[in-house]
A and B are shown apart, each in its own frame.
Chain A
Amino acid sequence: EPEVTQTPSHQVTQMGQEVILRCVPISNHLYFYWYRQILGQKVEFLVSFYNNEISEKSEIFDDQFSVERPDGSNFTLKIRSTKLEDSAMYFCASSSAGTLGYTFGSGTRLTVV
């Protein structure tokens, strides 16, 4: 069964550093998403991406965040200057046009120290 692949599975970074979280969505999917889950809390929407642009974003997704699809396979989330409160599990997801099913990756646990 097709999978959404996220790398790395765990990243530790110092406060103020830039991090890039990487995702390879399912190849024929057209919609891409990032969600965040602070430890022990609910999963929160960050951003959706379609046709090479952001289609929706939440209040969490401020200027510190950006997304990019640099080539035909990768979908990245960049956090420019990490803060302690950015520590969370970040999930990438993708879905195909005309369907409503989302496939989530297994997540990247980001720890900011």
Chain B
Amino acid sequence: AQKVTQAQTEISVVEKEDVTLDCVYETRDTTYYLFWYKQPPSGELVFLIRRNSFDEQNEISGRYSWNFQKSTSSFNFTITASQVVDSAVYFCALRGGAGNMLTFGGGTRLMVKP
């Protein structure tokens, strides 16, 4: 069975602060894939990143960065210098090696105040 846990249900920061969203996963698969999605107030799911289990290299994309640590089964997401437009619900998701379904975490609602 697969499981994704996002322990932070809601985070509130002031603009320009850095913020890290935690994601912990469980899977028995040796090959798996991790994702982050953003869900703005308009409701759509916006793809942010995909990472496979063999690639533990951290990734940076502009103000976004991701820290993948297999040893702790975590795939955390950091937003540097947060902006009001970053306000959204962020979901971490896992896909196992077999099958195509995504298992989502419960989401973290990020509120960035001006």
Total of A-B residue pairs, C-beta within 8 Å:
55
Q: Quick check: B103 and A45 within 8 Å, CB to CB?
A: yes
B101 engages A58 (CB within 8 Å): yes
With beta carbons under 8 angstroms apart, the residue of B42, B47, B99, B105 that contacts A42 is B105
Q: Is A51 an interface residue (CB 8 A)?
A: no
**Chain B residues in 8 Å Cβ range of A95:** 100
**Binary interface profile of A, 23-55, with partner B (CB < 8 Å = 1, else 0)?**
000000001010100000111110010100001
Which residue on B lies nearest to A99, using beta carbons? Answer: B50
What bracket does the count of chain A residues touching chain B fall in?
20 to 34
Contact across chains for A42 and B101 when beta carbons are under 8 A apart? no
Interface of A is mostly: strand
The contact string, 1 if C-beta is below 8 Å from chain A, for chain B 60-104, is 000000000000000000000000000000010101000111111
Bound CA span A104–B50, Å: 14
Contact partner of B45 among A58, A91, A100, A101, CB < 8 A? A91
Interface string of A97-111 (1 = CB under 8 A from B): 000111111110100
Measured between beta carbons, the chain A residues less than 8 angstroms from B45 are 43, 91, 104, 107
Tell me if A103 and B47 are in contact (CB < 8 A): yes
Contacts of A100 in B (CB 8 A): 33, 50, 52, 95
A56 close to B (CB within 8 Å): yes
A42, B100: Cβ atoms closer than 8 Å: no
Chain A min CB distance to B34 (Å): 10
Cβ of A21 under 8 Å from chain B: no
Point out which of B42, B95, B100 has the most chain A C-beta atoms below 10 A from its C-beta: B100
With contacts A44-B104, A56-B99, A104-B45 known, what are 19 further pairs, Cβ within 8 A? Answer: A33-B100, A33-B101, A41-B106, A42-B104, A42-B106, A45-B103, A48-B100, A48-B101, A56-B100, A56-B101, A89-B43, A100-B50, A100-B95, A102-B35, A103-B47, A104-B44, A106-B42, A106-B43, A109-B43
